[in-house]
Structure 1
Amino acid sequence: MAINLDRLAGFHHNALKVRADKMEVISGNLANANTPGYKARDIDFQSAMKTAMQSSQGSQPSASSLVRTNDKHIAGGSGPNFDVKFRIQDQPDTGDGNNVDVQKERNAFLENGMRYEASLMLLNGKFSGMKKALSSGGQ
């Protein structure tokens, strides 16, 4: 019987990628909290997961499968692979055009980190179960 690792861990692997990209976006928001005119950005987890699952099933080309036609072209695969959108402003303008709410960003960072850790633990559990099944399968 063949083992399909995509079926075993595909969802959690994609969730980790989306969570890591979301962490980078939130970090950028926090780093630019005092930058005049900076607009907070975010990744919609649901739509990003749909995109990630479709690309892992082969219906969309991934950034790592891009072909460069010239050695001077920039290689794909850097930065988030998902639509990064601007956050809806929910606080009054401070006068400099920056709409980053530091407390909201910190909370989003912590929540995303906890969800990342949960996905990592679930993925680890899947692999532990697979190792256990493989080691006891030959006895």
Structure 2
Amino acid sequence: MAINFDNALGVHQYSLGVRAQRAEVLSSNIANANTPGYKARDVDFASAMSAARSHQKGLSMSQTTEKHFDLTALNQQHVKYRVVNQPDTGDGNTVDMQQEQTAFMQNALEYQMSLGFLEGKFSGMRKALTGN
């Protein structure tokens, strides 16, 4: 009998990818905190998760020719500009370092939690298969 990983692993396999993408966006915000005109962005987690669950079933496509669709551009559709919580400092930059660092830390903790959940799922499957 084949193992269905979608049923066995739940949403945690998808949340890792979305949280990794969010970490990239948040770190980009932190890196551009002093860049004039830079607009802070964030990942719409709910829409990214629903898209990940619907599009990542089965095998992923590989781009063997430059005429294929750019799959990395599809991931950017869930990156949105953040609503500003602070007044403009005059240079057009909307990055709030405290908010970015807090969001980055929370995202890192949630990423670690998802890894822990996946580790538990794999451990349970290994015990079921080996009997140990």
Aligned to 1:50: 50
Aligned to 1:4: 4
Offset at residue 65 of structure 1 (A): 2.0
Offset at residue 56 of structure 1 (A): 2.4
Q: Write the letter of the residue equivalent to 2:128.
A: A
Offset at residue 73 of structure 1 (A): 4.9
Alpha-carbon RMSD: 2.3
Aligned to 2:28: 28
CA contact (8 A) 1:21 1:80 kept: no
For 1:65, what is the secondary structure of its paired residue? Answer: coil
User: How many residues are paired up?
Assistant: 131
Offset at residue 78 of structure 1 (A): 3.7
Offset at residue 6 of structure 1 (A): 1.8
Which whole-Å CA distance do the structure 1 matches of 2:91 and 2:68 have between them? 34
Q: Write the letter of the residue equivalent to 1:134.
A: L
Aligned to 2:116: 121
Q: Which runs of 5+ in 2 are unaligned?
A: none
For 2:11, what is the secondary structure of its paired residue? Answer: helix
Which whole-Å CA distance do the structure 2 matches of 1:135 and 1:101 have between them? 50
User: TM-score by structure 1 length?
Assistant: 0.84
User: TM-score by structure 2 length?
Assistant: 0.88
Change (3 A) 1:93 1:49: same
Q: Which runs of 5+ in 1 are unaligned?
A: none
